[in-house]
Structure 1
């Protein structure tokens, strides 16, 4: 691999409570794995491809990781605990804690926040989105340590606006689920299904928010 190691990836993978730092070869292996996993998916990627892209012998991979699955887990599992979870508790938490006059203002802030995070860490986010549903241990860890924290805060926001009488009195879990379906669907289409499309993110955010707030009725949405 002739490309330099991405600084954020090097910093992230070297964040270890025991102060165990990765060698340059290990970092090249991880970066190559992230790039190929994000492009082709875990199942379609071979360790020989990873080794070639990393500029190391295939045997070097197996000196550090017993299997391809172990390599995947070494990337995704710590990413959830060292990158995604702190982000949820710190930066994303700020979105939940700020005062918003309307539910739609909160939704716009949340999507903009997610877009920025996804742009900065897109390859490894793609690996997470593609692989967590197919690996029970990763799914369990995500739901317990990340999903639960987001859902708890999201529920509180919905309940706040329901108490104000500005959004429908529907079961809170249903509001969260349907809202998340629209926003996550947009993000998946934006970054995984049709990334080559010429996206106007602000326009798409507004369309998504209007759909959540007003559905497909002929009623005219209020101005932002």
Structure 2
């Protein structure tokens, strides 16, 4: 990945473009996301948010009622627009490379995801907490892959199969295995960062090796009964 903007940068930019949100509300929301990312939602109080935003605590309550109202106002645009846009942009960059081998395709995909997590770990921790606790946000996160990206991914997989580079399994199963592997890495790395003893290069190598060897048509398949 060349350069990547963070979720916080995308969010700040989106606030500036939303004419329905006042300047004071933008200050409160941006300050709250920064603090939630730095300390965790439970550890941040409304007074601290107000101080970071440069407003009175009463002004915060007037605009958002309580801290949960602030979190909800932050999460809606992130899970519905910002995160899907960022992830689909990463997917598009991988698909545009027109990889001719399974290895180059997987390495490009894994590299982008590992870099994305490294740049956004704190913000992703806030999002994941909502993913597990809020059914509506969970449904939005699970539907983030756009139909266009999905179509292009299917075309890329079909090309790799035709070239003898990819195992001849249903594309849906292949995507499930790829997404579950990368999703498992994301959850573990974001929620339990202290358990990670690998650097970014090692992580990319191991994840890529696992996926390439598992999806390689020249692997030795298990023998059924």
TM-score normalised to the size of structure 1? Answer: 0.73
Aligned equivalent of 2:186: 187
In the TM superposition, residue 196 of structure 1 has moved relative to its aligned partner by 8.3
1:147 to 142, 145, 148: 145
What's the Cα RMSD here? 3.2
Aligned equivalent of 1:47: 46
SS in 1 for 2:145: helix
Q: Which whole-Å CA distance do the structure 2 matches of 1:131 and 1:50 have between them?
A: 19
Aligned equivalent of 2:134: 135
1:79 aligns with 2:81: no
Gaps of 5+ in 1: 1-5
Encode CA deviations 1:59-109: one digit per residue, 9 max, x unaligned.
222211134333222212212444233334444312123211112211211
Contact 1:41 1:130 in 2 (8 A): no
Aligned equivalent of 1:124: 123
Gaps of 5+ in 2: 1-7, 220-225
Distance 1:76 1:91, change over 3 A: same
Give the paired residue count.
208
1:15 to 10, 17, 40: 17
Contact 2:31 2:52 in 1 (8 A): yes
Aligned equivalent of 2:91: 92
Dislocated runs of 4+, deviation >6 Å: none
Q: Which whole-Å CA distance do the structure 2 matches of 1:60 and 1:77 have between them?
A: 21
Q: Which whole-Å CA distance do the structure 2 matches of 1:183 and 1:170 have between them?
A: 19
Aligned equivalent of 1:201: 200
Aligned equivalent of 1:34: 33
